[in-house]
Amino acid sequence: MDLRTTYLGLDLRTPLVVSASPLSEEIDHIRRMEDAGAAAVVLYSLFEEQISRETLELHHHLTTGTESFAEALTYFPEPGEFRLGPDGYLEHIRRARAAVDIPVIASLNGSSAGGWTDHARLIEQAGASALELNIYNIPTDDQLTGAAVEQNCLDILERVRAAVAIPVAVKLSPYFSNMANMARRFDAAGADGLVLFNRFYQPDINLENLEVQPHIILSAPMALRLPLRWIAILYGRVRASLAGTSGIHTAQDVLKMVMAGAAVTQLCSTLYRHGIEYLATIEREMVDWMTTNEYESLGQMRGSMSQINCPDPTQFERAQYIRSLHSFKAGSWRV
């Protein structure tokens, strides 16, 4: 069975890609991913705060006491002249590339168009096959307009795109006022891929300690519907490769995403639940389904159920929403 696909210009054996998570913090885990059938791996994210904090700490230690003599102020460059960041992440890229033959995609996570984006060049030099920009931002300034939020995201991409030659994907939030327009703008700004969608981890309140605390919940299969819908709508409308993530747990989920138009599917929660070796099970079940349904390759089905190829395109739009509500039977659910 031909499961080959192309993502970010990379030729992959299958559409099964491991998404950014702590699973990739160990080189042994990355080897196991390759052995189990992963076509590529996105490394855990390097965060803007890590890079900024390290730069500020170094600047503090270098400049402490320099105000004692006026001429001492010229001994050290300003922070903006440094190209710093956690060296451990760069070394992890090098070690991962040496350990496996599959592409290793680095991940930068941030929310502003600041100096942290310059670290993309170091990531490229460390040998990353591509870079995923995880733009994680929850605007809370009530004076900040939607247009300004959108432009900030585009500025981040353009700054990174200008710094590196390797492929760059953008992991998007679904909360833009016009998702289709933003996808087109990211595409025009040079994104080689769009990853749909970023999951915003919501805090909880601890009633015992009366503290706000992080609370991570693995994705549920129902989360598949949002990226499925938008990949189906965007397929054929943008040049960038489309990657589906969140809610992808089974071979059937992967096949649905490919039919919608995804080049790859990124897996995480299902590997936490079932183990890294579950990748092999997903691939085997994909082949079984395709054989039973007389498919010879993944290319035959890609985009077959996208909006531009669907016999009834309104299934992805408001008409289907109205139809669903009208078809709902109150007696079918216990309240």
pLDDT tens readout for residues 238-260? 999 999 999 999 999 999 999 99
Q: Report the domain count for the chain.
A: 1
Q: For residues 233 and 225, is the Cβ–Cβ distance under 8 A?
A: no
Per-residue pLDDT tens digits for 3-48:
999 999 999 999 999 999 999 999 999 999 999 999 999 999 898 7
Residue 83 has pLDDT above 80, yes or no: no
Cα 25 to Cα 20: distance, rounded to the nearest angstrom: 10
Q: Which residues pair with 266 in a beta bridge?
A: 17, 245
Please state, in angstroms and rounded to a whole number, the distance separating the CA atoms of residues 173 and 197: 6
Looking only at the bridges linking them, the beta strands covering 10-12 and 5-7 are antiparallel
The domain in which residue 218 lies consists of 5-332
The angle formed by the CA atoms of residues 82, 172 and 250, to the nearest 5 degrees, is: 120
Mean pLDDT for 83-90 is 68
Strands (E), the chain: 5-7, 10-12, 16-18, 40-47, 104-110, 130-135, 168-172, 193-196, 204-206, 211-213, 241-245, 264-267
pLDDT for 178 beyond 50:
yes
Helix (H, G, I), strand (E, B) or coil at 10: strand
258-278, pLDDT tens digit by residue?
999 999 999 999 999 999 999
Answer whether residue 54 shows pLDDT above 80. Answer: no
CATH number for the domain including 52? 3.20.20.70
